[in-house]
Structure 1
Amino acid sequence: MSPLPPLALVSSKRLLTLAIVCAFAQAGTAVAQSPSVQTINLPAQPLAQSLNALARLSHLELAAPQSLAAGKTAPAISGQLSVEQALKHLLAGSDLVARVDGSLIIVQRAAPPPSATPAVHEARGATAPVNALPAVLVTGSKVRRLEASPSKFDQSLREMPQSVSIISQERIEQQALKTLDDLMLQATGITREQLWLNNNYYSRGLQVKDIRYDDGATSVISDRDNNADAAQFEQVSILRGADGLFGAGDAGGVINLRSKRPQDKLDIKATLSLASWNNYRTELDVTGPLNDDRRLKGRAVAVLQDQDHFFKPSHSRRTMLYGALQLDPSPDTSVVLGSSLQRDRQTAFNASLMRYVDGADAQFPRSTTMGAPWGWLERQNITVYASLVQQLAPGWKLNANARHMSGDDKINGAEMEGSINYTTRQSEWWRYADKTEGSTTLLDVNVQGSFDALGQSHDLIVGLDRNSTIKHYKRNWVVYGSGNAFDRTPPPAWDYPPKGWDSSTRNAGTASAVYGSLRLRPVERLALTLGGRKVFDESQSILNQLNNSRNDFSQKNNFVPYVGAVYELSSEWSAYMSRSEIYQSQLNYFASVNGPSLEPATGKNTEIGIKGELLKGRLNASLAFFDIEKEKEAVYQSWNPTGNNAWCCYVATGSKQSRGVDLELNGRLGPSWDLSLGYTFNNNKNRRADDGRFNTLTPKHLLKVWSNHELSEWWRGFSLGWGLTAQSKSYQAGSVQAYNPATGEFDGAWQNFAFTQKAYAIWSLRAAYELSQQWKLALNMNNVLDHSYYSTIGSSAYGNFYGEPRSLMLTLRGHF
């Protein structure tokens, strides 16, 4: 792009002023072509990051297999350079070459470059080398970036010996995904269990309990995380299976969220959307340099949303603010500081539906919620984080991450629960009040790099992390009385806060661990990963704040090993295998009222598969076979109150097995066709209960597809997308009472019953048109055929939720 006008450059020194520049950006900065020589200032960093940054600066599309850049570090460059000159400097000393072909930057392997490489001009404004290649006139084009690695290790997807799915920023915008819950619904192999106030996610039949932000330490997913606004994240990835290396030894997987980072040129995005059920949303995303040498950069994101819902008369409102600063004091040092605030309020929140006493569907309208109209839910989340990347030596760096998250929930409401009597048509009204305050502090420090030995390059990472949580929890949950389920008259609104709480607890926990991984290449094309994790300090303290009784628990954890191997079959395909140990703490499950806690659940996650980087790295393909065994999991025995928020009573005898296949294609099939396709077959067994399925909400077959087609060749500026989510039947096992002829009621003997949702397919469509270089209009339609189905099946008493009916969303997006 052309250099910014002096006024715009000065204005960019304040984040708030950046938003004002939006009004002048179209006239002052809209550019059809980039100059042949431009100011380029990139620090020493991983090669993939430098190539991505250069592509963004030049408005070119990057075509490069991820494996080519993995493990390589680019030198710092600064000066007035053409794209080809910058590429030559970035790839100096590597076995890679690059060229500009039209709107593409193509990176590929080549013979080692000559030893005489022109010196990089470090001083800003230095002239280009005398023997530089001729300048290239670069035309504007959409940028296709290399996906960032979802691992703390610098490696490509093809180098990771486990299944990982990435949802890019492009796909988030195309499908108009607004929350983490929206993203998880689109992720390969993920099943959502919708609950009253939060949601659970399952991969391969096992719950995904862990979440990681910006390659830092891992924390347990909280009740509020599923509603986190997606506007603050630039990429979401999900690792399926046990992540034994980096702090998530459970078998379901890990959600990885990458926060939006400041960019080194002025960029403004404004979004206005209008959707079904009076859903109004505005977004503003502004980033750019804050000083003349562009070493200080900022980013600000704001969201305001106001909407009704398909379940009546619910209404919600959201405010989200996100900000980040990045300071690069030297080419070897980068510091990022960020913070976010999200506030949500919802009235008449969605309480689940019940069934008749014999399990029959009550056939409520899809707009039905069993919550009282006066009920409300308020949530606030505040996050502050900091990260440091310090280059220690060529190929070596220090990463440090700190994050503090605090939040509070306030809930006041009433809902109906309980099976519906055929004669009286009645169920039960319950009162619910809740107040939760909690915080989580995460720390992670690691050193990683590459070294040469025995004629090969090898990689090493060692690190230390710590997780500290505190939760204050108060609750009232009492029955109010009977009511007609089809003609609901709610009880009067309750005072909040109540005069007293039925339960009040404080739960504090800490865990510290050391981890390490060594990736060896004993021979060409083979990489062996050996590593593991050792938790050396884990404790939990539970205080009953009503009677001041306290329980303290700690345990010594074993070393959890990890082994993986990747063999490069060709320049495009690799075969892999991995074995991760499962290690899940069960400190919160008691064997008796006074403890002790159950010992950790253990097991193994074995995976073999093949991965490919096709079409010059634009398309990722993978096929995985997995076998998961989990032992000593908590099994419910009886209910006994403990006086705190520990669960009692359990025995560690659970034995589960999950086997199946994951198939995925993700990327760009051509210059105008984006495709994401994921299929999972899962067969899970509870070996303690006659090999029946331990997770019946996870279907045997699950298919998710999103495809977007640029049709400018036939209609300039027009694109069309479509999506599909299809699954085989799911069900929830339970019990109901048989019909008793003597009483004419269903009060006979208890018998097993399966509450079933038949197989279904949900289609979505998208049409978009570029009104100009700056403005695009898009229309998304979800559940095109308006199929009526249950997104989650519960029991006869509660837990049944309808899937969303057909909906429309019109989005106007501006990019300056």
Structure 2
Amino acid sequence: MSHLSIRPRIKPVAAAALILCALSGAAWQAPAFAADTAVLNDATQRRYDIASGPLGQNLSAFALASGIALSFEPALAAGKTSPAVNGVMSARAAAERVLAGSGLEIAGRADGSFTVRRATGVANTSEAPNQALPAVTVNADSERSTVTEGSGSYTTRATGAATRMALSLRETPQSVSVIGRQQIEDQNLMSLNDVLRMTPGIVADRLDERVTFTSRGFSLNSMIDGVPTLSFNSVAAESSQLSMQVYDRVEVIRGASGLLNGSGSPGGSINLVRKRPTAEFSGHVGVGVGSWSRYSTEADLSTKLNEAGTVRGRVVASHADGNSFVDNKKQSEDVFYGIVEADLSRNTLLSAGVEYQRTAIKGANFGQSPLFYSDGSRTNLPRSFNSSTPWSTWNMDTQRYFVNLDHHFDNDWRLKVDAALITNDRERYSGDIWLYPGNINSATGNGGVVQVANNPATSVTRALDVYATGPFSLFGRTHTAVLGANYNRYAYDYSNSSRLVNAFDRQAVNISNLGAIAQPDFPYPLNKFSGVTEEKAVYGALRLKPFDALSVLVGTRFSWYDNDLVTRTWTNGTNGRPVASSAGHEHAIFTPYAGIVYDINDTWSAYSSYTDIFQPNTARNANNETIEPRRGNNLEFGVKGEHMGGKLNTSFAVFEVREDNAVELAPGVAPLPDGSAAYRAVKGARTRGFETTISGELARGWQVMAGYTYSAKFNNKSVLMNTNYPQRMLRVATSYRLPGALSKLTVGGNLSYQSGISYLETYSAQTAYQGGMTLIGLMARYEVSPQLSLSLNVENLTDKTYYTGLGGYNGYTVGNPRNAWLKANYKF
């Protein structure tokens, strides 16, 4: 097996222990500064409309209404109630009322957020409900609340995923959806694939173990904690299998994201935001059982690591295992995450951590099930049909190491430095049905061909991002600026080995008896592809406020892109001369960004945005050559609303994308040497559409995330492209906590509708269709006690048979039948 010999192997638990020891050792020297010398700005007045109720629920409502990033240990609020808070007042006054009689206080943290803790110096707060709230500490640049954990909400107060500025959804001149922790838990969204299948405007097209995520017909860039990463470009790192145990939320930008991503996709970007430590001890453990003999266990613990609370740590670990509805297929998953934060000073925060995930799949698929027999008739195979041999293996190991430094200056400016090292390894032994050409006999199932190979892959990604943001004064008004630079280096290789010399091993088989193909040894290397991609960029943006109702956002990015590939082939077991090729070198690519937001009134804003597109293609043509980069522009107009003090957000947008070097599958072309599909370039493509979304609290206890999207892409001859992607989609996820005596019960569910899709099969010239289809899921959670809850989630309630992927590898992939998960969760 061939691997890149670039880094030492460090066990994740050992790495986390080293981080904890190193930072904890330094932490005992960290200054234990007081957190009660500055107070919240009493001059800031907001309207509050919080009914009396459980303290934990009202703290979340207060955080949303005030725009404060507030975290608290659920056990502190358990069993406590809070009086109503109504009227226009300062955040300080509102906090006094929310916490009246609770014996708790709010304290500030060095990162500009707040936490709830037991009050100090109060003998008996229950007898002194009117005692003044202890002072609240605020950093010079206190950000709006972005943490979704503990908020109970299906929306967020702010996101910086589009511009690096902490703006509300209404202030961001692009289409944004944030899938937060509450929705992830309510809807049992265990992987990134689960999350994005519930995100408005996103198509999740499953090839095999891989899933392609697109918006408006385009792929999405990836970021982790706001830092662009190329790590998911590798076949060694399948993003759809990423566990959600580690993340607080997933921020999805739809539309060109070229300001923060040098290779800005017209589709947008996905930003994965990690969980952070809490100042007080908190956590939970959970177990679950599901259909097909699946089970899961998890633990999530967070606490301060020194008496002053200036060092905090968090550890997450989980294990899942079980079978599948697909014959001879099973999957296991192990996840570990450790992070330590240290307040080096009042204004400086150092964070370091490690993520580890191992996913092991037996009976794994590469490619799809055949659509047609050789006579042109449909295959109509069982839903449980597995297109790969029982011994086919797909095991992936991912390790991410990261260090962040965040400093807030006294002039309200902020400097942030993020560095990351990501390693990926894939072990893959496979016997997969070869769908090129389709020659399977409809009567007997004979004539099938299985390709047998060993196809390992590795990659290493190094990323660095540095930026500064803050206010400045011009013409008597205050504006905001961002300046930054980032660097990504992505080194990868993949190879193929065979049982045969000089040839791929393709064996005849009856497709109903793939188990007849035994796993051989693979002594003969066939090829190896090694590549390095580097992206460097500098960027800047301004948010100008000519007057209160108008915001003008302008920005630019200069990008440098290099991609080189070395190919090695073997003849008669001998390594041939390496052949070097360049997949592209682009220098000082200029990517402008512009957006305007006009506040019509206190609730509604109109906006427009424009972004140029520069996206290097990774797709290759029939000659195995990388297609030239996509270039074009994205234009969007819309209206956004912020209701009930930010508890509910709405939006409507229309958009148009124009591009050259768009890619589509090349018909009649066999897979490339690495097994991937060949594409061709299209000039003058145009995508048009509209979308509308709603997220947040519709009524007390009722949360919703919903969106309807129409998007169609045509080439320069007005022929519809991407026919295997739906043009119309509706996504709805909701939960409702019953009132009064039934308040321990929360019920809800989700609905996903998409319009019909089709695919012209390469060799039969037959077209496969799937009409419009609707999937329904249900959920219920019962709180046995303030600490213990039981939840039930049902997927595909009506047990609909449907394609979750069509045409990606000249075949189809079936979606999950009806299944369920029952879970128990205990909070500390």
Q: Give the structure-2-normalised TM-score.
A: 0.79
1:707, distance to aligned residue in structure 2 (A): 1.1
Specify which of 341, 348, 352 is matched with residue 337 of structure 1. Answer: 352
* Paired position in structure 1 for 2:165: 153
Residues 1:41 and 1:401: Cα distance change in structure 2 (over 3 Å): farther
Write the distance in 2 (CA, Å) between the matches of 1:612 and 1:348.
48
Letter in 2 for 1:724: L
Which residue matches 1:664? 693
TM-aligned CA distance change 1:679 to 1:551, over 3 Å:
same
Letter in 1 for 2:550: L
Separation in 2 of the partners of 1:557 and 1:806? 51
Distance (whole Å) between structure 2 residues aligned to residue 46 and residue 349 of structure 1? 57
Residues 815 and 360 (structure 1), Cα distance of their counterparts in 2 relative to 1, 3 Å cut: farther
Verify: 1:206 aligned to 2:223, yes or no: no
Counterpart Cα distance in 1 of 2:580 and 2:64:
52
Residue 800 of structure 2 corresponds to 787
Kindly tell me: are residues 69 and 61 of structure 1, through their superposed partners in 2, closer, same or farther at Cα, counting changes over 3 Å?
Answer: closer
Give the residue type in structure 2 aligned to 1:548.
Answer: P
Distance 1:768 1:615 in 2: 26
1:225 alignment partner, one of 239, 244, 262: 239
How far apart are the structure 2 equivalents of 1:633 and 1:591? 15
Contact conserved, 2:668 with 2:763, CA < 8 A, in 1?
A: no
Shift of 1:199: 1.2
Any idea what the Cα deviations from partners look like across 1:669-728, whole Å, max 9, x if unmatched?
A: 1221011111101122122xx322211122121011111010142524011112101111
Matched to 2:192, the amino acid is L
Residues 704-715 of structure 1 mapped to structure 2, 5 A cutoff:
704-715=731-742
Q: 1:600-639 residue pairs with structure 2 within 5 A? A: 600-633=629-662
Contact 1:65–1:613 (8 Å) recurs in 2: no
Separation of aligned partners in 1, 2:815 and 2:269: 25
Q: Distance in 2 between matches of 1:679 and 1:578?
A: 20
Letter in 1 for 2:469: Q
Tell me if structure 1 keeps the 8 A contact 2:655–2:690: yes
Superposition deviation, residue 371 in structure 1: 0.9
Q: Quick one: which of 468, 482, 485 aligns to 2:508?
A: 482
Q: Which of 421, 424, 446 is 1:404 aligned to?
A: 421
- What residue is the counterpart of 1:365 in the other structure? 382
Relative to structure 1, is the Cα distance of residues 708 and 327 closer, same or farther in structure 2, using a 3 angstrom cutoff?
same
The aligned counterpart of 2:535 is: 511
8 A contact 1:589–1:646 mirrored in 2: no
Residues 734, 59 of structure 1: alpha-carbon distance in 2 compared, 3 angstrom cutoff: closer
Deviations 1:571-601 (A, max 9, x none): 12111000011101247758978x7x65432
Cα drift, residue 790 of structure 1: 1.4
Q: Following superposition of structure 1 onto structure 2, how do residues 477-626 of structure 1 map, counting pairs within 5 Å?
A: 478-495=504-521, 498-536=522-560, 538-544=562-568, 546=575, 547-552=577-582, 553-586=584-617, 589=620, 599-626=628-655
1:252 is matched with 267
- For 1:421, the equivalent position in structure 2 comes to 441
For the Cα contact (< 8 Å) 2:702–2:736, is it kept in 1?
yes
**Take 1:431 and 1:69, find their aligned partners in 2: how far apart are those partners?**
57
SS at match of 2:785: coil
Partner-residue secondary structure (3-state), 2:370: coil
- RMSD, matched Cα: 3.6
Cα displacement string for residues 450-505 of structure 1 (whole angstroms, at most 9, x for unaligned residues): 1122232201001000010110211247343222223444311122xx21221112
Aligned pairs (5 A) from 1:86-105:
99-100=94-95
Deviations along 1:729-770, whole A, 9 cap, x unmatched? 111233454xxxxxxxxxxxxx4x321111111111111110
Tell me, what secondary structure is at the counterpart of 1:450? strand
Write the deviation string for residues 386-410 of structure 1: whole angstroms up to 9, x where unpaired: 1111012332010111111101001
Distance change in 2, residues 1:728/1:41 (3 Å): farther
User: Could you say what secondary structure the match of 1:157 adopts?
Assistant: coil
DSSP 3-state at the match of 2:292: coil
Q: Counterparts of 1:638 and 1:311 in 2: how far apart (Å)?
A: 29
Whole-angstrom CA distance in 2 between matches of 1:42 and 1:313: 63
User: SS where residue 171 of structure 1 aligns?
Assistant: helix
Cα distance in 1, alignment partners of residues 289 and 509 from structure 2 = 37
2:226 counterpart residue number: 215
Show structure 2 runs of 5+ residues with no match: 1-14, 18-33, 47-52, 71-88, 101-118, 124-128, 135-148, 499-503, 570-574
SS at match of 1:616: helix
Q: 1:536 deviation in Å? A: 3.5
SS at match of 1:159: coil
Tell me if the contact between 1:590 and 1:647 (Cα under 8 Å) persists in the aligned partners.
no
CA distance in 2: counterparts of 1:555 and 1:642, whole angstroms? 28
Give the structure 1 partner of residue 137 of structure 2.
Answer: none
C-alpha contact 2:544 2:551 (8 A) present in aligned 1: yes
Q: Secondary structure, in 3 states, of the residue corresponding to 1:521? A: strand
**Does the CA-based 8 Å contact 2:617-2:627 persist in structure 1?**
yes
Relative contact order (alpha carbons < 8 A, sep ≥ 6): 1 or 2 greater?
A: 2
Q: CA deviation at 1:569?
A: 1.1
2:223 counterpart of 1:193? no
Residue equivalent to 1:703: 730
Matched, 1:447 2:475: no
Q: Provide the residue aligned with 1:134 in structure 2.
A: 131
| Secondary structure, counterpart of 2:409 in structure 1 | strand
| Range that drifts further, 778-787 or 350-359 | 350-359
Residue type of the alignment partner of 1:231: Q
SS for the counterpart of 2:165 is: coil
CA contact (8 A) 1:66 1:156 kept: no
The answer as to whether partners of 1:42 and 1:331 remain within 8 angstroms in 2 is no
Displacement after TM superposition at 1:159 (Å): 1.1
- For the pair 1:719 / 2:746, whether they are aligned, the reply is yes
Match of 2:343 among 319, 322, 328: 328
Q: Distance in 2 between matches of 1:661 and 1:284?
A: 41
Corresponding residue to 2:369 among 353, 364, 367? 353
Once residues 646 and 787 of structure 1 are traced to their aligned partners in structure 2, the CA distance between those partners, rounded to angstroms, is 31
- Contact map agreement 1:251 1:582 (CA 8 A) in 2: yes
Structure 2 equivalent of residue 234 of structure 1: 248
Distance 1:401 1:302, change over 3 A: same
State the partner residue of 2:144: none
Matches within 5 A, 1:310-329: 310-329=325-344
Query: 693-702 or 512-521, which moves further after superposition?
Result: 693-702
The percent identity for this pair of structures is: 25
Q: Is 2:295 the counterpart of 1:274?
A: no
Residue in 1 that maps onto 2:193: 181
**For the residues of structure 1 that align with 2:54 and 2:537, how far apart are their CA atoms?**
38
The 1:40/1:772 distance shift into structure 2, 3 A limit, reads farther
Match of 2:481 in 1: 460
The C-alpha deviation readout for 1:290-312, integer Å capped at 9, x for no partner, is 00000000000001111101101
CA deviation string 1:527-577 (max 9, x = no partner):
001111101453434343742222345222421101100011111211100
- List alignment gaps of at least 5 residues for structure 1: 1-13, 17-38, 75-93, 106-123, 738-750
How many Å separate the matches in 2 of 1:729 and 1:780?
A: 27
Paired letter, 1:182: D
Aligned residues: 708
Q: Is 1:164 the equivalent of 2:176?
A: yes
Corresponding residue of 1:61? 59
Counterpart amino acid of residue 564 in structure 1: G
Kept in 1, the 8 Å contact 2:16–2:354? The answer is: no
Which residue of the partner structure matches residue 77 of structure 2?
A: none
Q: For 1:598 and 1:428, how far apart are their aligned partners in 2?
A: 30
Determine the C-alpha separation between the residues in 2 that align with 1:95 and 1:631.
52
1:292 aligns with 2:312: no
User: Are the counterparts in 1 of residues 287 and 824 from structure 2 also a CA contact under 8 Å?
Assistant: yes
The change in CA–CA distance for 1:398 and 1:591 in structure 2 (over 3 A counts) is farther
Partner of 2:145: none
Alpha-carbon separation, structure 1, partners of 2:755 and 2:37: 50
SS of 1:800 mapped into structure 2: strand
